[in-house]
Amino acid sequence: MEGVLDCSLALAWALPDETSSRAEKFLAHLSPQSVLWVPALWWYEISNALTMAERRHRLAESESRRIVELYSTLPIKTDAELSLHVVQRLQALAREHSLSAYDAAYLELAERRNVGLATPDRRLVTAARKAGVKILSA
């Protein structure tokens, strides 16, 4: 399987109060040949969510470290391309589908890499379908 991994799906694997069966099934279907693309933004979103969870006492610092270690074992590849063309396409997708630039980054990456998108976000799912991007599920 090759696709783009949305931050919210990754967090659903790791945060005890956000666990979902969909996220668990998706994780279980990964193979050594799987490639999960993420925009560089993904790491900032993950770090922010974990830091906020620590501050709100939803997660201990040790658990936060364990989660980051878990992500390091996944077949994640970070796409760092940020050309003018990428930014323009990202903005166009955000405008066209009423997405945040952050969500549009996932859609743009899936579109550019010609791979599916793994996300539980309904608005992003709708936008992906309209853009002709496949939604990945377990």
Closest CA to 5 of 109, 130, 126, 131: 109
Torsion of CA 38, 40, 44, 50, to 10 degrees: 30
C-alpha span between 59 and 73 (Å, rounded): 20
Mean pLDDT, residues 25-54: 92
Look at the block and give the residue holding tokens 């878990």. Answer: 70
C-alpha span between 22 and 67 (Å, rounded): 18
DSSP 2-20: EEEEPHHHHHHHH-GGG--
Q: In this structure, which amino acid lies at residue 136?
A: L
Residue pLDDT, tens place only, 105-121: 999 999 999 999 999 99
Residue pLDDT, tens place only, 57-83: 999 999 999 999 989 999 999 998 889
Confidence tier at 17 by pLDDT (50, 70, 90): low
Confidence tier at 15 by pLDDT (50, 70, 90): confident
Alpha helices in 56-121 (DSSP H): 61-73, 84-97, 101-113
Domain parsing of the chain, residue ranges: 2-131
Q: Give the class (CATH, top level) of 2-131.
A: alpha beta
pLDDT > 90? residue 14: no
